[in-house]
Structure 1
């Protein structure tokens, strides 16, 4: 962080220095032009070739050149940004990704296997010797401290990264060898940060299933407990959402993303802290929606809340890029290791926060009570 911050400082100083040099050159050029104009004007007035008014007008026009030049300098940054954006667009158009041919995989079953997987981002190992098996319909949760490698494992399974060592197999095939068609039928990932596309709510949802009927769209919204905000939309499915319309709250945006997963109906769901934005008021509804999405599917859940991990069929505890504990909730509690300490801190925090958020009438205040701490 320190190196990155100082890099920003150095680049900022360099940009300001460049602008200062340009301003100095402009002032020098302006001074030179005015000096030459006044000298030539004096000479021409002395010989009677021009009047004082004509020379004065010419000098004033030269002074007015500063405005357009300053404006040009101010738009240089915009021009450079536009050029970089255009270069990226041209690069994508002229050199599109090469389609991956079908690998010949059978019908999606939802079987996942990571064999001795290791991966680094160019430095030390981010994850090391990860072995994981998810049978069809099984939910596996990953917990651990920030930086333990949980998100990296999720990205490897999704095919966003290719392991430096080992294999990531989906239905017996390396995930990187699956074609787009095969991957869409098997994998869907919901992260902590989701995007609401500009357009009507119907258009936003039918990205996952273009031929979905309005009845199907409303049904999946019901399943993810989104009707509380959907019923308030002025035009229902025709309401414009996103940057050019109604801005959905984080919980609503996550529910919309989960609804798209239900429409897509993949065999495997990867949830990378997908309920982390729930806060106190929307935690229950969003976690229930996540349970609906993972039901009867293979699921890898990077758990933000330990009560979500406790419902998984298998739990992996990661530390420093390695799996240090593995088992069910009861088995890990009985082992008395890292998970036991995390669970004890979690439950103690919930009791303390619940007591602090207790309303005078004995009901919990939803604005004060949270679902726990981040692990």
Structure 2
């Protein structure tokens, strides 16, 4: 039987988690909660997507549900997660995609309605919530963990790359820059943004320097790299797909050719299947739209200054790749929980 999943928040990630679930026979979304979207509008937003194109399937709306490829998905409009009757639809694993409930304490409200586990689709705002990145530390999940975080899209790109490089050569220290596509928190034209003045500038007209905790978060999922990586972001006027630039000092001298060989072997291994990719083609960002992998190593974009000082580049669809990893984590959790 497919894993029964509920989605709280039908924004970019919520909708794409749903789309990804339709193509995944191991997962079935049985309920969606969003207090700001009615079923008719929900069906429309699922059917059409500016970046990923039309939904390949049938979608229709009912009074309190949407019907996708003949399967009914219950729709709720509760402001408080404790009010969502997840148990009525059999939803046990909840993708918490609102961006609002980002601590274990807040997510515990889902258990009132019958949910068993919650995956936050963002970095948690507390220190209690375990954070996982598929392929990196997901095997540390244990069945007593009820609320977990799937980290950020950027950490899902950086951590696999950092782990492969660190395991082979050792990372002494490093700096990361992500050139990141526009997201919903940005402004279409200049507007108020008290905490981040630059972030309030028009997204379509600017390259915007921004902070990111993605590099420091690698130290959480790879403890031996704690304090060895930090980073920043540049928000750019593209709709989707971002790229990580990881510049590191290595402990073991090597060549760029050997690094390429290491990354190619990783991409072809069972451990990193569906996570790490490898390309030697002259690619650009749009070539990775709707790519489910989260860290695609660009072998011809990296450079080397000395035998221990290198710049490495990896692409990721910050929407689709991440959404697929949310479901991969839920699948893994369900396997562990069933033991």
Length-normalised TM-score, structure 1: 0.23
- Structure ID, larger Rg: 1
Higher helix share: 1
Length-normalised TM-score, structure 2: 0.24
